[in-house]
Amino acid sequence: MGSQIIGFTDWFRTPPGEYLLAWERERFDEAVADMFGYHALQLGLPELDALRSNRMPHQWLALQGIDEGYIAADSLSGKGPNATAMVAASSPRAALLTDPAALPFPENSLDLVLLPHTLELSSDPHATLREVERVLVPEGRVVISGLNPASLWGLRQRRAHFYRRLGYGELFLPEAGEFIGYWRLRDWLRLLSFEVESGQFGCYRPAVSSRTSLERFAWMDKVGERFWPIFGALYFLVAVKRVRGMRLLEPAWKAQKATASAPVAIANQVGPPGAFSHLTDIRNLDPDT
């Protein structure tokens, strides 16, 4: 597991890795800017500060293993015996060293959880999603990004695996865990009572390694988004935790306003129909008369 994470980290320093990381950074900035609450967690990928545009007062970065550039600090009180506080040597953001399938947070305590490639690097992505569902508050959100196996990049990776079994060839993408398809992930979220709010694909340039070749095919991003949108190298989705039987309370002033504007029936009206037709509606009276 550790070698997979290090390989993934090194790959993001390559031209195609930087290309994907730039697209993800824009998507996370747009998605989390208007998400409000108190507690937010990013699980994995310290190279990406996915919470930088979010304004929640309490933010954590959780790591799945010890990477270079991180040094251990004192344990956080109340966070569980397996959680260790980490301080990044190159980043002021505090971090936790934890198992993604056993997060050191109580139930219904987080408003937002970000999973940038976390499920691909997890040995048990099902357990990771169940744990995210446990720690999220009702109506809390999870934001997920991942590599799309149904893309030109995924096709090159499968071909490289085939040639590698024959004894030659190199992988184009990092040798992480099993890549999870977009529609398969949506089914997993649905089983956990998540409702997908939005989803999109991106990065349509061919699977090439040089920066010059990537820039040459920059026009394919716009064309791919229009003509073959589901075949982008990356997918990005936002899902909300729904709780059955829960109803959000409306502000009290809305209920009072609705009551005040409701029509009022005249009680104890006596007399035949039309008996009060000669009375003038007070709403039509001229104040000067």
Pairwise CA distance, residues 196 & 235, whole Å? 13
Look at residue 218 and tell me if it is in a domain.
Answer: yes
- CATH code at position 215: 3.40.50.150
Amino acid 13: pLDDT: 86
Amino acid 47: pLDDT: 86
34 token code pair: 């208007």
Look at residue 145 and tell me if it is in a domain.
Answer: yes
Amino acid 98: pLDDT: 86
**CB within 8 Å of 237: residues ≥ 6 apart:** 143, 144, 182, 185, 186, 196, 197, 198, 199, 200
Burial bucket for residue 110 (CB in 10 Å: 0-12, 13-18, 19+): buried
pLDDT tens digit sequence for 255-273: 555 555 555 555 555 555 5
What are φ and ψ of residue 222, in 5° steps? -70, -40
Predicted structure pTM score: 0.73
Amino acid 134: pLDDT: 96
Amino acid 184: pLDDT: 93
Domain of residue 199: give its range: 2-46+107-241
Burial bucket for residue 170 (CB in 10 Å: 0-12, 13-18, 19+): exposed
Give CA torsion, residues 211, 212, 214, 217, to 10 deg.
170
Look at residue 277 and tell me if it is in a domain.
Answer: no
Amino acid 73: pLDDT: 34
Q: Residue 194's CB: how many other CB atoms inside 10 A?
A: 24
Look at residue 70 and tell me if it is in a domain.
Answer: no
Could you give the number of structural domains in the chain? 1
Look at residue 37 and tell me if it is in a domain.
Answer: yes
Positions in the chain short of pLDDT 70: 1-8, 65-94, 161-171, 175-177, 245-289
Q: Residue 189's CB: how many other CB atoms inside 10 A?
A: 20
Amino acid 135: pLDDT: 96
Look at residue 128 and tell me if it is in a domain.
Answer: yes
Amino acid 262: pLDDT: 54
Q: Residue 51's CB: how many other CB atoms inside 10 A?
A: 22
Amino acid 84: pLDDT: 35
Q: How far is CA 204 from CA 69, 139, 144, 210, 234, in A?
A: 32, 33, 19, 15, 9
Amino acid 250: pLDDT: 57
